[in-house]
Structure 1
C-alpha cells in the first residue's frame, strides 16, 4: 500500500501545487502579488476541508462495517475509484498541455473583476478537488481504513517529493520534462485503475453477486503467491514458493495481480487496456483532424483576403 499511497499523494499534491504555482507566478507577472495571500488562504481552507472529508468518510465506512455491509461499500469504492482514475488518465492525455493557459485565463478574469472572494474560491476548489480524490483513492487502497493510508510512509514521501519537484519547477532554471512525468504516472495510474476494476469484479464473485464461466483459469500460487498468508500456507504443506508473497501482495495492491484469476477478471483486465488505449488514440485523432480543418479554413480565408485585395488593386 505504501507505493500506492506514494503515487496518489505525489500525483494529486503535485497537480494542486502546479496550478497554485501557475496562479502565483501569473499574479507576479501581472504585478498583482497582493492576491497571493488570498490564494494561500483558499489552499489552507481546502486542506482543512479535505481532512474533514476524510474524517466524515471514515465515519461512514465505520457505520457500514457496524451494519456488516462493508463489502458493499468496499466494492463500490473500488469500482468508482477505477472510474475516477481512468478519468484522470484521460484528462492528462487531453489537457495537460493546456493547463497553464486555462488557469491564466481564469485568473485574468478574476483580477480584472477585482474579486478577492473569487481568488479564494478558485484556489480553494482547485485544491479541494485533489484532496477529495485523494481521500477516495485512499479508501480504495486501504479497504476502508483511510487513516492507515494517510499515516503511511508512502503518503508522507509522496507529499515531500511533490513539494520538492514543484519547487524545482518554479524556483530554479532546471527544465523538468513534464511530458515524461505525465506519461509515466499516467501509465502507473492506468495500471492501478485496471487493478481496482479487477479486484472489484473478484470481490463481487467472492460474495456471490455475480457468477463465473471459469472461477480459476490457472493457478500459479506455487510460483508467486498473492499474499504472505498464502506463502505460509504453502510452506506448511511442504511447498516452497519461487517468489515471496511480499512481492505478490505488492503486485496485487498496485496492479490487481491474482495468482488464480477468473475468466471474467482476465477479460476485464485485457479489455480495460484495449478500450482505454483505443479511446485515447481516437480522441487524439479527432483533435488532430479538428486542428487540420481549422488550419485549412484559416488558409482559405487568407486566400480569399488576398484575392479581394488584388481585385481592389485592379479596380484602382
Structure 2
C-alpha cells in the first residue's frame, strides 16, 4: 500500500504543480480566456493514460501464461526506467521547470493558435500519466488485493489537496527536500520492481540462470505479514529470493542511488538546460 501511495503522491504533486504553473501564468498575463485550451490538453493526457492502462490490462488478461509473464517483465523494465529517469531528471532540472514552462508558453502565444497550448499541456501531463500507469501496473502485478489500489487513490487525493493548497498560498512546503527524500524511497521501490523482472522471465522460460536460492523466509517472515509488507513496500523485500534477483536488485539500487546522492549542480548551470 505504501509504494503506490508514495508514487502517486509524488506523481500527482508534480502534475498539480505543472498545471498550477500553466494556469497561473495565463492568469497573471491576462489570458484567462485561454484556460480551456490548457484543460483540454490535460483531459486528452488523462484519456491517453487511462486508455493505455486499459489496453495493457486487456493484453495481460488475453495472453497465454508465457506471454503474460513476458508482458509483466516488459512493464517492469519500462516502470523502472521511468522511475529512475524521473527522479534523476527532477534532481538535475527541477529548479528550472517553472521558467522552462513559461518560455514554452510564450512560444505558444507567438504561434497565434490555441492548439499549441493544448499540445503543451498535453505533453506536460501525459508524461506524468503514462509514468503512473506503468508504475501502478508493475506494483499491482506484485501486490494482489485491495491495498495497492487504495494506496494509489489516497496518494492521488492527497496530491490534489496539497497542490491546491500550495497554489492558493495556504500551505508552504519545502519541495526541494520533499522531492529529495521521496526520490530516495522511489529508488528503493524501483529496485524492487527491477528485481521482479528476472523472476517473470524465469517463469516464462526465457531466463534460467543464477537460480541458486539465497533465502526462503516464507515460514519466518512472509510478505503477507505486517513487517513483511512494510519491508516489501520500502525495500522490495521478497520472502523467497534467488541469486539473479539479488544481483539485479543491488545493481538497480546502488547505481542510481550513488548518482542521486552526488552534489547538485548550481542553479545557473541547470537553468540553461531544457527537459
Classify the TM-score, shorter chain.
Answer: 0.7 to 0.9
Q: Which has the higher contact order (CA 8 A, sep 6+)?
A: 2
- In 2, Cα distance between the equivalents of 1:162 and 1:102? 23
TM-score, structure 2 length as denominator? 0.85
Distance verdict in 2 for CA 1:281–1:160, change over 3 Å: closer
Partner of 1:12: 11
Deviation at 1:250, TM superposition (A): 4.6
Alignment of 1:204-223 (within 5 A): 204-213=201-210, 215-223=212-220
Gaps of 5+ in 2: none
Q: Does 1:266 align with 2:239?
A: no
TM-score, structure 1 length as denominator? 0.75
Partner SS, residue 261 of structure 1: strand
Q: 1:248 aligns with which of 224, 228, 250?
A: 228
Partner of 1:154: 151
Q: Which moved more, 1:127-136 or 1:97-106?
A: 127-136
Distance verdict in 2 for CA 1:254–1:207, change over 3 Å: farther
What CA deviation, in whole Å up to 9, does each residue of 1:223-278 have, x standing for no partner? 41224xxxxxxxxxxxxxxxxx2432453355321234223333332333322133
Alignment of 1:46-195 (within 5 A): 46-65=45-64, 68-143=66-141, 152-195=149-192
Alignment of 1:299-310 (within 5 A): none
Q: Work out which of the two has the higher radius of gyration on C-alpha atoms and give 1 or 2.
A: 1
Distance verdict in 2 for CA 1:53–1:269, change over 3 Å: closer
Distance verdict in 2 for CA 1:144–1:41, change over 3 Å: farther
What CA deviation, in whole Å up to 9, does each residue of 1:23-43 have, x standing for no partner? 111112212211112111221
Gaps of 5+ in 1: 228-244, 295-316
Distance verdict in 2 for CA 1:30–1:259, change over 3 Å: same
